[in-house]
């Protein structure tokens, strides 16, 4: 039976931008998608459920604040005057995983609490779509029992997976795809972003061939699983 809240609130519209790991390009991809949607006339808003390494009062100005990247992506666009500013629902000063950063400040995160915060935000937001950007990879812990993947399953939005394209990255992306599938999450697409050192410090690697092969292998695996979600390669 539906609760009163479920009867009143319309379904969330948007995407959950997740990563195969930390520092794989989630924020840049979220910012690029925000700009593309704005150019297409869609009023989207970037939302960070949990931002670490940033004090609450510096949510838009700190060096590690993702909102700065979002703002830079749409700066100067005439459409940006009417768009909603990016927002972080929770900010913690320690640059660490959400559970550790929250614990340092005496806070406790939960999927139920974060989902409620997202729903509450969607009620007051006039955006047509929310772009929810995760923190770290899929299994980054939110507390002792729950992680980012649990939050994604709770929210239920299609997932845009951002994967680092580097030596060893294919394994991380394939494991992430397995986790999404086993948790019943819809894959909206995969974005490959080369790391700063795709060879991972290993001498003699043919970087161009490896990056191309990673993309080709992923497309083949997606096709084998009957997935039609696009795979996009972005330059560094």
pLDDT above 70 as % of the chain: 94
Residue 1 CB partners (closer than 8 Å, separation 6+)? none
User: How many other CB atoms sit within 10 Å of the CB of residue 183?
Assistant: 13
Pairing, β 87-88 against β 187-194: unpaired
* Residue 16, pLDDT above cutoff 60: yes
DSSP H helices in 125-225:
148-155, 169-182, 207-224
| Mean pLDDT of the chain, nearest integer | 91
State the pLDDT at residue 1: 47
- Residues 173-178: what's their mean pLDDT? 96
Give, for 19, the enclosing helix (H) or strand (E): strand 14-19
Give, for 35, the enclosing helix (H) or strand (E): helix 26-39
pTM: 0.91
State the pLDDT at residue 60: 87
24 φ, ψ to 5°? -105, -5
Place 8 in a pLDDT band, splitting at 50, 70 and 90.
low
* Residue 80, pLDDT above cutoff 70: no
Closest CA to 12 of 151, 146, 214, 211: 151
Q: How far apart are CA 53 and CA 62, in angstroms?
A: 9
- Residues 92-117: what's their mean pLDDT? 96
* Residue 199, pLDDT above cutoff 90: no
pLDDT above 90 as % of the chain: 78
Long-range contacts of 222-230 (CB under 8 A, 24+ apart): 222/177, 222/190, 225/181, 227/187, 229/187, 229/188, 229/189, 229/190, 230/189, 230/190
Active-site residue among 35, 48, 90, 115?
48
* Residue 216, pLDDT above cutoff 90: yes
Q: 48 catalytic, yes or no?
A: yes
Beta bridge partners of 233: 192
CA 52: distance to chain centroid? 14
- CA dihedral angle for residue 110, residue 114, residue 119, residue 124, rounded to 10 degrees: 140
Q: Are 236 and 194 in contact, with CB atoms under 8 Å apart?
A: yes
* Residue 33, pLDDT above cutoff 60: yes
Q: How far apart are CA 23 and CA 173, in angstroms?
A: 14
pLDDT in tens, 106-149: 999 999 999 999 999 999 988 999 999 999 999 999 999 999 99
- Residues 8-22: what's their mean pLDDT? 87
Give, for 30, the enclosing helix (H) or strand (E): helix 26-39
């Amino acid at each position: 039976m539906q609760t009163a809240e479920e009867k009143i609130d319309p379904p969330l519209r948007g995407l959950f931008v997740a990563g195969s790991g930390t520092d794989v390009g989630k924020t840049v991809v979220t910012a690029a998608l925000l700009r593309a949607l704005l150019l297409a006339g869609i009023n989207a808003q970037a939302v960070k459920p949990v931002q670490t390494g940033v004090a609450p009062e510096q949510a838009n100005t700190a060096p590690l604040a993702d909102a700065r990247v979002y703002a830079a992506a749409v700066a100067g666009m005439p459409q940006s005057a009417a768009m909603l500013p990016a927002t972080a629902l929770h900010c913690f000063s320690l640059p660490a995983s959400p559970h550790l950063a929250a614990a340092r400040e005496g806070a406790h995160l939960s999927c139920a609490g974060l989902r409620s915060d997202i729903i509450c935000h969607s009620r007051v937001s006039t955006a047509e779509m929310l772009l929810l950007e995760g923190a770290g990879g899929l299994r980054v812990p939110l507390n002792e029992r729950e992680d980012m993947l649990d939050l994604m399953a709770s929210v239920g939005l299609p997932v845009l997976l951002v994967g680092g394209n580097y030596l060893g990255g294919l394994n991380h992306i394939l494991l992430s795809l397995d986790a999404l599938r086993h948790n019943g999450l819809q894959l909206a697409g995969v974005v490959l972003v080369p790391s700063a050192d795709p060879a991972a410090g290993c001498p003699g690697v043919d970087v161009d061939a490896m990056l191309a092969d990673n993309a080709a292998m992923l497309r083949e695996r997606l096709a084998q699983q009957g997935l039609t979600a696009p795979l996009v390669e972005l330059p560094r």
